[in-house]
Amino acid sequence: MTASRIPTAAEELRGAGLRVTAARVALLETVRAGDHLGVEAIAGGVRERVGHVSLQAVYEGLHALTAAGLVRRIEPAGSPARYEGRVGDNHHHVVCRSCGFVGDVDCGAGEAPCLTASDDHGFTLDEAEVIYWGLCPGCSTARSARAL
């Protein structure tokens, strides 16, 4: 039995019908190597890989990758957009109110879309977005220490 091979970023771009460029490959690899990165951090990662790339090109590339389903855009309330490479599994997020850390949370129960709407208004639902808010362990500890 042969182990299944993971497709390269270039193969994934082609498979999604996108033109393969060094910048797009670097963009996809940067998002996947990161952890809920903002646009500035992604641009920095792309520049480390391929040299100069404009911020506008990064935004356009992220839009194309998001539309193709290769990356996911999340935008917790009051925060700038962040991007992640974990797609297709309808997971959720936990966000620290103090430092802004974002972490992945698998669905709590059931299958996608994880939550059953009390009234779906006739929609065919295929995704639910849940964001849990609170304090991460580091911020909770810091807050407790200040209270003493």
Predicted local confidence at residue 114, as pLDDT? 63
For the sheet with 131-134, list strands across it: 102-105, 92-96, 131-134
pLDDT digits (tens, 9 = 90+) for 118-135: 788 888 887 778 888 999
For the record, the structure tokens of 85 come out as 């490479």
User: Which carries the bigger pLDDT value, residue 144 or residue 137?
Assistant: 137
**Whole-number Cα distances in Å, 145 to 138, 142, 148:** 11, 5, 5
Q: Is the pLDDT of residue 37 over 60?
A: yes
Q: pLDDT tens-digit profile of 51-73?
A: 999 999 999 999 999 999 999 99
Q: So what's the pLDDT on residue 6?
A: 83
pLDDT given at position 126 = 78
How confident is the model at residue 124, as a pLDDT?
Answer: 86
pLDDT in tens, 79-138: 889 999 999 887 889 999 999 899 998 876 655 556 677 788 888 887 778 888 999 999
107 is in an annotated binding site: no
d(CA 53, CA 42): 11
Query: Strands 102-105, 92-96: parallel, antiparallel or unpaired by DSSP?
Result: antiparallel
Look at residue 141 in the predicted model and tell me its pLDDT: 84
- Does position 1 have pLDDT exceeding 60, yes or no? no
Check the annotation: does 114 bind a ligand: no
Containing 28, the helix (H) or strand (E) segment is helix 22-33
Identify the residue with better confidence: 40 or 100: 40
Which domains does the chain possess?
1-87 (1.10.10.10), 89-148 (3.30.1490.190)
CA dist., res. 39 & res. 125, Å (int): 29
